[in-house]
Structure 1
Amino acid sequence: MTQETGSAFNRISNRLLQTVPIDFLVVFRIAFGVVMCWWAISGVRNGIPYNNYTLPAYHFTYYGFDWVKPIDLSVAIGGVAVDGMSLLYIAFAGLAICIAMGLWYRLVSTLFAVGMLYWFLIDKAYYLNHYYLCTLLSWMMPFFPAGRAFSVDAWRNPSQRRDTAPAWCLWLLRFQIGVPYFFGGIAKLNADWLRGQPMRTTLSYMTDHPWISRFPFDQEVLVQLVCWGGLLFDLAIVPLLLFRKTRLFGFFLTCAFHICNHNLWNIGIFPWLMIAATTVYFDPGWPRQFLHRFGWGNRPEVAETPSAARFSLPQRLVVSCVLLWIGVQTIVPLRVFVLPGNPSWSEYSHHFSWHMLLRAKVSGVRVYATDPESGRSGVIDLRPYLTQRQLAVVGRDPRMIHQLCLFIADDLATKGHPNVELRALALVSLNGRKPQPIIDPAVDLTKQPRDLRYPDWIVDLHEPYRHLAWKVPLEQWESQLSLDLPPQMMALRIPQRPVPEAGASSTDRSAAIAVSQRADSVAGN
């Protein structure tokens, strides 16, 4: 390490290893625990663990994590059978309450983090940016000394009680909470968003929403307000929160932004988590400062800042790990600028990049099976393999379609059809464009390897941008498009009329062999 590098590292270490009031960490611990408990209980009440994880015959695992499977268990509680994944959610709720209370904090936060990662890796069909953020935060929690104050642990063992915490906890939290805002704003600097899509199409389906129906101006004004307002908010909010003079204004904007999101889109815990987490941008001792103004408690004090000469090997290791985490969380979202393909179209680098609200896709997919010996072809019924929720997602992601075809091929092999060829007619309309194939229909997907490389069988997006969305119904697509199809598909070109998914919103439609999705879960995740 050069002298200049060592000096810079020491300056950073001085800043990160000084102590600050622990109040901010206590508030975050309680808020995180309460919100995650709410999420887990809501999931059980809505049957999500069973319907999303226990019921499906197949799960779209992340590459390298095929071994991650749902809990195959059923127990009787009070005479009622409870599946293993519901038990996991119940455990999440209990662990989250313990985190909020600061009870056995290190143990329960570690168990919660391991459980969240396991749950997150089961099926990428349910990926949402706020689930990714919750998983990251859960893995940060065990390393924070958040149980040292205002906790059951500190009450039971006063010798562990501390009024301060290392400053790296504060700055790491500020960084992680700021990442979705900043990279969400960077992602919005693209042609479709700046020209009003997919907001124009999405809002056109929401004219009966109370907030939108009462909007006093033309809908195009609302489109531009959402597009430019969202872009400017994402790029400006972190600087506004970092500077003392603009902090209260920034927090007010944050609350207004997330309350609007909660009322417009169905995004669960995300608005409330972000509002609570944004308090880390206040002075770290703000709770006691606030109470002290009313004559309650003492003003928080800050201990002496350590000097570089006293830095130990563990301290340097802590600083190195913090900088490594920051580096990874910065590089991963930026990979979209160097990896091939349009992430909104190919989905290749969409995950973990904080791309929110950028893509509205309407998609239809049909899988054709061909016996190479007889030359006979037929259409695969996807319903035995996937739930309606999975069907609503798979059609927009070519690599998920490929993953599904590999699974179907293995299933057919066990039934005495080992050499079946599988091809997909996958038509996708991105942000109101005219639909086009996203996968080369002539490619036998069973012969394509599943790896991390960009697939050469993904068809590049070539349909031009449209100011007004192409609204031909899905069942008429094939009659309206000029498609160059292989002979295995030509004989079976029978338009399929999609059947609405039971209980689905107006943005999702699915059928046995066709999938349509009008909005990308509107939360943009």
Structure 2
Amino acid sequence: MLKQFLFKPIDNAALVVFRVFYGFLVAAECYGAIATGWVKKTLVEPQFTFNFIGFEWLQPLPGNGMYIYFAIMGTLGLLIMIGYKYRFSAFAFAIMWTAVYLMQKTSYNNHYYLLMLLAYIMAFLPAHKDASFDARLNPRIHSNVMHNYVRWIIIVQLFIVYTYASVAKCYANWLDLSIIEILMRSKKDYFLIGNLLQQRWLHWCVAIFGILFDLLIVPALLWKPTRKWAFAFSIFFHLFNSYIFRIGIFPYLSLAFTVFFFEPQTIRKIFLRKKEVIIPTAIPKPKNHQLVLGILAAYFSVQIALPLRHHFFKDDVLWTEEGHRLSWRMMLRSRSGILTVRVVNKETGKITVVDINDHVTKKQGRKVACYPDFTWQFAQYLKRFYAEKGEDVAVYVDNRVRVNQHKFRPFIDPKVDLASVPWKHFAHNEWILPSQWQ
């Protein structure tokens, strides 16, 4: 029964149209990163890059290399959009974007992670079978149909993202509006609506609508009687987020996803201007369809499990940050910290208080002051920095961290030499002090 559902033939209009949107938005993201100075500030100017731990070998290219790198990714986006050399273009972009994602986390957000996942998903899907240069140059691959599982890969991925985002908001600092107040405080200078964004009634609207939208939007789009209303709410929600929170292409990518929820005839009438496609009663299953099902089951099992892993770590994820990334925990906390770093020469006992601004950018420095993995990586950097000068050093930190509107609390054990302890990916790092929430 499940196999029959997943491998039944359906019109591929939604996938083809989404490919065009996806390619255009990818190009806009990459070219925009150059034009806005994001590449310069994030990957060119810093003398030290905070990679995902374990991927230190991924370093920004020297000179103008990263500008060229992003220009190539933008061009790959355009090739995806027009469907030229689609498989190569899609896989090449996926690999290059993954490298950028793992190369730096100072500007981390969940949307970059979603784009990485989507890049690989799209690379495997037959999005180039119609309305593409590939289909025009090689008519043998042309097709107006695809298997039903292709559509449901996108829908299930979206359902996981939105559901976890909704559940994560059901915690004290979202429900008492404190985190929303912090988020909106920085928007008070916005033209015309700055004062409006400070109103408590609007904060309540954001809190309630944020939870309900994330929880219900996918089911509402799937159910035909609510589909148009859900689409209208989606337009408002994502344009609001785009203007208020300035989160790049993600709101528009989210709107592009909605093509998978409408009838194919509607999509063709609006975008492809073709006669109604005749869908055959059956099309051959992929020869390796059992493998396809196994891979999809494994992939979505991981996607369901990853956001739950923080429950297996000691203490609160809002405090420790362990298990926060890759879990769709969006706009849930604001962190700030006060940090003093002491380097101790193991031979002479000489103590040097390090000015972190001599080594990292201001944005990186804010992360080092209150995110444990950044602090640990900075300690490793200092160990290498002094080793190059012939000194064997220990690195100790005194810092106090504030999460949302809680009080500043001691965060890292000042007696632990961070330069000598390993980072634990799958267990709690005991040098992070208990949260002691009040």
Normalization by structure 1: what TM-score?
Answer: 0.79
2:328 equivalent in structure 1: 354
Which of these two proteins has the greater Rg computed from alpha carbons? 1
How far does residue 343 in structure 1 lie from its aligned partner after superposition? 1.9
1:77 equivalent in structure 2: none
Q: Could you say if the C-alpha distance between residues 276 and 311 of structure 1 is closer, same or farther in structure 2, counting changes exceeding 3 Å? A: closer
Q: SS of the counterpart of 1:198?
A: helix
**How many residues are aligned here?**
437
Say if 2:376 and 2:418, in contact at 8 Å, map to a contact too.
yes
Tell me which protein shows more helix as a share of its residues.
2
CA distance in structure 2 between the aligned counterparts of 1:173 and 1:384, rounded to whole angstroms: 45
CA distance in structure 1 between the aligned counterparts of 2:292 and 2:346, rounded to whole angstroms: 59
How far does residue 51 in structure 1 lie from its aligned partner after superposition? 2.9
How far does residue 202 in structure 1 lie from its aligned partner after superposition? 2.6
1:223 aligns with 2:207: no
1:168 equivalent in structure 2: 149
Q: For 2:204, give the aligned amino acid.
A: Q
How far does residue 187 in structure 1 lie from its aligned partner after superposition? 0.6
Q: For 2:31, give the aligned amino acid.
A: I
Q: SS of the counterpart of 1:202?
A: helix
1:336 equivalent in structure 2: 310
1:66 equivalent in structure 2: 56
1:103 aligns with 2:84: yes
How far does residue 254 in structure 1 lie from its aligned partner after superposition? 1.0
1:428 aligns with 2:401: yes
2:40 equivalent in structure 1: 50
Over the residues paired in the alignment, what is the CA RMSD in angstroms? 2.0
CA distance in structure 2 between the aligned counterparts of 1:312 and 1:161, rounded to whole angstroms: 17
CA distance in structure 2 between the aligned counterparts of 1:12 and 1:390, rounded to whole angstroms: 49
1:276 aligns with 2:259: no
2:381 equivalent in structure 1: 407
1:36 aligns with 2:18: no
Q: Could you say if the C-alpha distance between residues 291 and 130 of structure 1 is closer, same or farther in structure 2, counting changes exceeding 3 Å? A: closer
Q: For 1:302, give the aligned amino acid.
A: I
Q: Could you say if the C-alpha distance between residues 331 and 344 of structure 1 is closer, same or farther in structure 2, counting changes exceeding 3 Å? A: same
1:442 aligns with 2:422: no
Q: Could you say if the C-alpha distance between residues 208 and 64 of structure 1 is closer, same or farther in structure 2, counting changes exceeding 3 Å? A: closer
1:251 equivalent in structure 2: 231
Match of 1:85 among 52, 66, 87: 66
Q: Which moved more, 1:420-429 or 1:164-173?
A: 420-429
1:376 equivalent in structure 2: 350
Match of 1:241 among 203, 206, 221: 221
Say if 2:86 and 2:128, in contact at 8 Å, map to a contact too.
yes
Q: Percent identity?
A: 28
Match of 2:291 among 314, 317, 340: 317
Q: Could you say if the C-alpha distance between residues 245 and 421 of structure 1 is closer, same or farther in structure 2, counting changes exceeding 3 Å? A: same
Instruction: For residues 224-252 of structure 1, give each alpha carbon's deviation from its aligned partner in whole angstroms, at most 9, with x where no partner exists.
Output: 11111111111111111111111111111
Q: SS of the counterpart of 1:362?
A: strand
1:515 equivalent in structure 2: none
Structure 1's unaligned 5+ residue stretches are 1-10, 75-82, 465-525
How far does residue 133 in structure 1 lie from its aligned partner after superposition? 0.6
How far does residue 394 in structure 1 lie from its aligned partner after superposition? 2.5
CA distance in structure 2 between the aligned counterparts of 1:460 and 1:250, rounded to whole angstroms: 43
Q: Give every structure 1 segment of 4 or more consecutive aligned residues whose post-TM-superposition deviation is greater than 6 Å.
A: none
Q: For 2:110, give the aligned amino acid.
A: N
Q: For 1:247, give the aligned amino acid.
A: R
How far does residue 47 in structure 1 lie from its aligned partner after superposition? 2.9
CA distance in structure 2 between the aligned counterparts of 1:281 and 1:226, rounded to whole angstroms: 25
CA distance in structure 1 between the aligned counterparts of 2:21 and 2:180, rounded to whole angstroms: 31
1:299 equivalent in structure 2: 276
Match of 2:97 among 92, 109, 116: 116
Say if 1:177 and 1:278, in contact at 8 Å, map to a contact too.
no
CA distance in structure 1 between the aligned counterparts of 2:74 and 2:188, rounded to whole angstroms: 37
Structure 2's unaligned 5+ residue stretches are none
Q: For 1:275, give the aligned amino acid.
A: L
Q: SS of the counterpart of 2:196?
A: coil
Say if 2:158 and 2:218, in contact at 8 Å, map to a contact too.
no
